[in-house]
Amino acid sequence: MPVVDVNPDELRDLTGHDEKSDDELIDDMFALGLEYEGETEDGDLQLEFAPDRLDRLSVEGVARSLRYQYGDDRGVYVPGTNDPDWTIEVDESVPDERPYVTGAVIRGVDLDDHALDSLIQLQEKLHATMGRKRAKGAIGIHDLTMLKGRAATGDGEGGEVGNSITYRGIDPDGDRFVPLDSDAEMTPAEVLRVHPTGETYAPLVSEYDRYPAIYDDIGLFSFPPVINGRRTEVSTDSRDLFVEMTGTDQWTIDHMCNIVCYALAARGAKIEAVEVEYSDRTLRRPDFGVQTKTVTHERIERTLGIDLSAERVLDLLERSGLDAETNEVGDEELAYEVEIPPYRVDVLHPLDIVDDVGRAYGFNDLEPRYPDVGTVGGRHDRSKLEDAAREVLVGLGFEDLLNFHMISEEENFERMRIAPGDDAVGGGDPASILEPYSEDYTMLRTWALPSLMMVLENNTHRAYPQDLAEIGLAAEVDESENTGVAEHRTVAGVLARHDASYEDAKARLQTVARNFDVELETPATDHPTFIDGRTAAVVMDGERVGVLGEVHPEVLVEHDLELPVAAFEFRLDALE
């Protein structure tokens, strides 16, 4: 979940509530779903929240939400935008993989250290969330005064737009610029090789034939989504900014741009539109258009489980920063046409508006009630069988165990003296994990005996006898299954004691078979895990379902055991 650092003084300033203590602010933010996690070294409050309200990824957004909560603001606010002076021309050479761009010009911003930190944080957090680590959307912010626009070529319509920059694709070594945090001129390909930021983001573009690049009249100044040029770096002296965003989806970058513009507007900056000129269309950005969704009164009452008046609903909507009108016409069902501000990225469906109403009302003020719905409960057959078998094993004195289903090939096969594909219990082909995180967990176990041997190995310092049993999942690759994996429950038991013998294991198995009225036969067989001549197949009601025997000394020594172990394993469904 995202964490945002918020300076409490800035928060007081931006909300206009100087009287609020830090603790009061923390409580107020908890009510919004922002959970206080601690303080940074600089005394900022660290707040964690679920990744829906991404417009709260900076102090400005948090302050805006608080002002609605306090009732200082109501309804939708849209900042005005001035007419465009700048154009982003999209050249035909732009990489197919990353064809979209958007932007805005910000004028008269007052960037003190706090404001600049907040802007940088917002940019980083948007990259991490909506931007999918810059893959989907990447933000570049530049000092406008350092840009030299070319006279826009224009599309013949008016041509009064004065300046332009160009988004295009270039050869990886096709041009040079000085990236941020560097003194050297390098090509985009060199940036990926030698610049730390370049190395981090290289996987995003390294497969592209042409690399994304943004030019002004002077030349290359930005290499999205990797790094900006040093020439246009923003500092606390910057007053006018150029914001550009590139990505794989126009909607996503447009909304990231809206969130940045709203944050800067909250600090008194003036937003100026830019024109984005694609070969087939021209967009005016930022797009502060207000979306509308219709939600019925019935839906709100049903989901919240309470009766509300239309006035109350309208009030709650406005306190959520939304605008609404009832559309009551004749016999039509009472509904609300709700306007959603352009910084909201979480409203996909009318029920998201119901959630806003609930939050404004206060979910914890709702009275819980037990639903008056009658149903009959019950256990799954397999789970009942599993419990019955477990009860018999525990009655026989086995300690019931619960091990991981994931295991390593070494534990599952090699240390048990078997190999994948062996015609033996446990020798199935493993369902294996793609690029496993840990070498101890690389596959689903094909049988449970290796897990029990590992428990014995880890408990040699504990009192003997150790009689252990487990009923749990085992799985192997099976092409006849829809998922390609055959999963079954397996029953495994070990008897580790100074005089453990085949007979001890068989005696217990006989009891299990008797309890489930299953005919047990144990014809001699061989299995590498067990001692030859002391190994039998477990045959229940005529079907081979497992193996039984004295564990081979090599397996015992491998597991650091200094006493014999008798063991069995068979399929649970044999007891059905």
Partner 1 sequence: MKLPESHAAVLNAASADDARTIDQLADDTGFKPETVTGAVFELESEGLLAVEESVEETVTLTDEAREYLADGLPEVRLYETALDAGADADPVSMGQVIGQSGLEGPEVDIALSNYARKGYGAIESGEITTDADADPERDAEADALADLDAGEAVGDEDTLDQLERRGLVTRAESTVRAVTLTDEGVTALMEGVEVSETVGQLTPEMLTSGEWKEVEFAEYNVEADAERIEGGKTHILRQTANRVKDTLVGMGFEEMEGPHADADFWINDCLFMPQDHPARTHWDRFALEEPTKIRDLPEDLVERVRDAHMNGVGDDGDGYHSPWSEEFARSIALRGHTTSLSMRYLSGHEVGDLEPPQRFFSVEKVYRNDTLDPTHLLEFYQIEGWVMAEDLSVRDLMGTFEEFYAQFGITDIEFKPHYNPYTEPSFELFGTHPTTGEMVEIGNSGMFREEVLSPLGVECDVMAWGLALERLLMLMYGFEDIRDVHGTLCDLELLRETEVLH
| Binding residues for partner 1 restricted to 275-304, rule: CB under 8 A | 293-294, 302-304
Q: What b/e sequence results for 61-92 when a residue is b if at least 16 CB atoms lie within 10 Å of its CB, and e otherwise?
A: bbbbbbbbbeeebbebbeeebeebbbbbbbee
Between the CA of residue 163 and those of 85, 90, 107, 147, 417, what are the distances in Å?
6, 14, 15, 10, 75
Is the Cβ of residue 168 or residue 299 nearer to partner 1 in the bound state? Answer: 299
Is the Cβ of residue 92 or residue 329 nearer to partner 1 in the bound state? Answer: 329
Phi, psi of 136 (to 5 degrees): -90, -35
Instruction: Give the x/- contact pattern for partner 1 in 113-152, rule: CB under 8 A.
Output: -------------------x--xx----------------
Tell me the angle at which helices 59-70 and 250-265 cross, rounded to the nearest 10 degrees: 70
Nearest C-alpha neighbor of 185 from the set 126, 231, 245: 231
Is the Cβ of residue 134 or residue 231 nearer to partner 1 in the bound state? Answer: 134
The stretch near partner 1 (CB under 8 A) out of 180-188, 319-327, 384-392, 567-575 is 384-392
**Rg for the chain, CA atoms, rounded:** 34
Separation of alpha carbons 139 and 385, rounded Å = 58
Q: Least separation, in Å, of the C-beta of 398 and partner 1?
A: 5
Instruction: Give the x/- contact pattern for partner 1 in 242-281, rule: CB under 8 A.
Output: -------x-xx-----------------------------
Q: Confirm or reject binding of residue 498 to partner 1 (CB under 8 A).
A: no
Separation of alpha carbons 247 and 212, rounded Å = 10
Beta carbons of 144 and 221 less than 8 angstroms apart: no
Q: Least separation, in Å, of the C-beta of 358 and partner 1?
A: 5
Q: Least separation, in Å, of the C-beta of 351 and partner 1?
A: 5
# binding residues, partner 1 (CB under 8 A): 98
Residue from 78, 178, 401, 563 touching partner 1 (CB under 8 A): that is 401
Beta carbons of 206 and 192 less than 8 angstroms apart: yes
The stretch near partner 1 (CB under 8 A) out of 11-19, 50-58, 159-167, 192-200 is 50-58
Instruction: Give the x/- contact pattern for partner 1 in 300-339, rule: CB under 8 A.
Output: --xxxxx---------------------------------
Nearest C-alpha neighbor of 145 from the set 58, 283, 238, 51: 238
Q: Confirm or reject binding of residue 354 to partner 1 (CB under 8 A).
A: yes
Nearest C-alpha neighbor of 105 from the set 145, 47, 71, 45: 145
Separation of alpha carbons 362 and 360, rounded Å = 5
SS (H, E, C) 167-193: EEEECCCCCCECECCCCCCECHHHHHH
Is the Cβ of residue 213 or residue 452 nearer to partner 1 in the bound state? Answer: 452
The stretch near partner 1 (CB under 8 A) out of 71-79, 189-197, 312-320, 362-370 is 362-370
486: left (phi over 0), alpha (psi -120 to 50) or beta: beta
Q: Least separation, in Å, of the C-beta of 208 and partner 1?
A: 17
Q: Least separation, in Å, of the C-beta of 306 and partner 1?
A: 8
Q: Confirm or reject binding of residue 380 to partner 1 (CB under 8 A).
A: yes
Q: Least separation, in Å, of the C-beta of 244 and partner 1?
A: 19
Instruction: Give the x/- contact pattern for partner 1 in 448-487, rule: CB under 8 A.
Output: ---x--xx--xx--xx-xxxxx---x-x-x-x--xxxx-x
Structure tokens at 535: 């190994």
Q: Least separation, in Å, of the C-beta of 457 and partner 1?
A: 8
What is the secondary structure of 14-41 as a DSSP string?
HHT-TT--HHHHHHHHHHHT-EEEEE-T
Structure tokens at 509: 């198995």
Beta carbons of 304 and 357 less than 8 angstroms apart: yes
Q: Confirm or reject binding of residue 202 to partner 1 (CB under 8 A).
A: no
Window 402-441: residues binding partner 1 (CB under 8 A): 402-406, 429-438, 441
Long-range contacts of 455-461 (CB under 8 A, 24+ apart): 455/401, 455/403, 456/494, 456/496, 456/559, 456/561, 456/565, 457/559, 457/560, 457/561, 460/560, 460/561, 460/562
Residue from 196, 237, 330, 369 touching partner 1 (CB under 8 A): that is 369
Is the Cβ of residue 53 or residue 125 nearer to partner 1 in the bound state? Answer: 53
Is the Cβ of residue 441 or residue 516 nearer to partner 1 in the bound state? Answer: 441
Q: Least separation, in Å, of the C-beta of 491 and partner 1?
A: 14
Is the Cβ of residue 334 or residue 406 nearer to partner 1 in the bound state? Answer: 406
The stretch near partner 1 (CB under 8 A) out of 74-82, 111-119, 325-333, 349-357 is 349-357
Q: Least separation, in Å, of the C-beta of 326 and partner 1?
A: 16
Q: Least separation, in Å, of the C-beta of 324 and partner 1?
A: 13
Q: Least separation, in Å, of the C-beta of 139 and partner 1?
A: 16
Q: Least separation, in Å, of the C-beta of 6 and partner 1?
A: 19
Q: Least separation, in Å, of the C-beta of 518 and partner 1?
A: 21
Beta pairing class for 241-247 and 227-228: unpaired
Nearest C-alpha neighbor of 114 from the set 236, 261, 269: 236
Beta carbons of 503 and 522 less than 8 angstroms apart: no
The stretch near partner 1 (CB under 8 A) out of 8-16, 108-116, 192-200, 340-348 is 340-348
Is the Cβ of residue 143 or residue 352 nearer to partner 1 in the bound state? Answer: 352
- In a 10 Å sphere around its CB, with 0-12 CB exposed, 13-18 middle and 19+ buried, how is residue 422 labelled? middle
Is the Cβ of residue 309 or residue 364 nearer to partner 1 in the bound state? Answer: 364
